[in-house]
Amino acid sequence: MEAQLYFFWSSILLIIFYFFYLLLLKYETFFLLNRIYLLSALCLSMTLPLLDLSNLIALPKIELMVSTLSVIGSGKLVIAAEQEFNWLSIVYWIGVAFTSGLLLMKLFGVKRQMGLPEKGRAFSFWRTKVIDQDLDNFAEIDAHESIHVKQLHTLDMLLVELTGVVFWFNPLIYCYRKSLKFIHEYLADEYAANFAGSKKKYAMVLFLQNFKAGPVLANTFYNPSLLEARIKMLQRKKSNTYRLLKYVLCIPLIVLVAVLCSFNTSDFGSYGTIKIDQAARFPGGFESFSKYLIKTARKVSNKDGRVMVSFVVETDGEITNGKVENGLDEASDREALRVIQLSPRWKAALQNGKKVRSAYQIGINFRSDNQINRKYN
């Protein structure tokens, strides 16, 4: 799958999953389930676009062409040196490098603060708690931070941060991070309030305490930006068990987006089993297409064999969705795709007098001799 298409669908899934959370799950007190949902949403958004369900449906093979291409001239190996100057790719990797640097700075910041004196501070990171033992209500604070450590909340934040490095251009990642941060605090507050024996008493601990700020990646007991929401959630009535049915809706949602994403990113998924009245044609016919392939293709490997490439002819004749179905080696596969993608526009296939998209496969045999053989199926 092309990188742009992958990032497009991953971003779409991030939006769908997050809005489902905002509409149905955010204000429920099933904090652990909400945590699992958000983490699953992140992972699924990165993996579902890689699925290809096209093998589950009958694919219309409009035409199968097998050509044998040979090297023109001496047959010496030619290493493809063409590289497109892609500004979009450069900007993306600059963003990855920048956000990676920020993440390293955050990690060094945590390490530095963990080595400072504990006076007036209370936070945890990974399996380490940093709490000033002279603080009032030390036992409740310690209980709060113990849940962060026991439930590995730092691992969640590191996952979000790494996702943010890859999807630095998507602001929704920061919404996921903030929501997970809230959920971590709700889980820890719930346990600490039970430990204190009273939600009101524990709420006063939150309201009256004033600590030094902890590191960005750490689980800080006192966080002014989260304080109001934490106190409100402590006072919120427990969700009824029947509201757990909301989480069952996640299953059809995942199935729906998986099918939608896969069939829109697969090569032939959007065609179904349609009947084509007239197949797509290369200008001048197949003979001209064979000449184009022989003229354009280069021998880039000392390995002989066939590369099977599939592609789509759009309604405007453009070639898209080039994909190696059966490869030979990396260099030959790349060359076969290059030749197909550089093809001039075709005449689109016709169905009931209208132009339609159609799927093709072609087998390109790379040989080191100067003989040209063609086989039609």
Q: Are residues 132 and 190 in the same domain?
A: yes
Q: Are residues 243 and 334 in the same domain?
A: no
User: What letter does residue 109 receive in the DSSP assignment?
Assistant: H
Q: Are residues 115 and 196 in the same domain?
A: yes
Segments forming the whole domain that contains residue 214: 3-52+84-258
Q: Are residues 176 and 33 in the same domain?
A: yes
CATH number of the domain within which 343 lies = 3.30.1150
pTM value is 0.64
Q: Are residues 188 and 246 in the same domain?
A: yes
Q: Are residues 13 and 97 in the same domain?
A: yes
266 — phi, psi (to 5°)? -80, 170
Q: Are residues 316 and 345 in the same domain?
A: yes
d(CA 149, CA 16): 31
267 — phi, psi (to 5°)? -75, -40
Residue 248 resides in a domain: yes
Per residue of the chain (377 residues), give pLDDT as tens: 467 778 888 999 999 999 999 999 999 999 999 999 999 999 999 998 887 655 454 334 443 344 433 333 333 323 233 344 467 788 999 999 999 999 999 999 888 888 776 677 788 888 888 888 877 888 888 899 999 999 999 999 999 999 999 999 999 999 999 999 999 999 999 999 888 888 888 888 877 665 555 666 777 777 777 888 888 888 888 889 889 999 999 999 988 888 777 654 443 333 444 456 777 888 888 778 878 887 888 878 888 888 888 888 888 888 888 888 888 888 888 888 888 888 899 888 887 778 877 788 887 877 765 433 433 33
d(CA 101, CA 208): 36
Q: Are residues 8 and 157 in the same domain?
A: yes
d(CA 86, CA 92): 10
Q: Are residues 90 and 78 in the same domain?
A: no
The domain boundary residue, chosen from 234, 258, 282? 258
d(CA 26, CA 18): 10
Which of these, 371, 228, 265, 364, lies nearest to 9 by C-alpha position? Answer: 265
Q: Are residues 88 and 153 in the same domain?
A: yes
Q: Are residues 280 and 369 in the same domain?
A: yes
Q: Are 296 and 86 in contact (CB under 8 A)?
A: no
- Give the count of domains, the chain: 2
DSSP structure string for 342-368? TPPPPBPEEETTEEE-EEEEEEEEEES
- Cβ contacts of residue 5 below 8 Å, gap of 6+? 49, 265
Residue 269 resides in a domain: no
Q: What is the CA radius of gyration of the chain?
A: 29
Edge-first strand listing for the sheet containing 374-376 = 319-326, 305-313, 358-367, 64-70, 374-376
User: What letter does residue 25 receive in the DSSP assignment?
Assistant: I
Q: What angle do CA 310, 324, 57 make, to 5 degrees?
A: 55
Q: Are 183 and 73 in contact (CB under 8 A)?
A: no
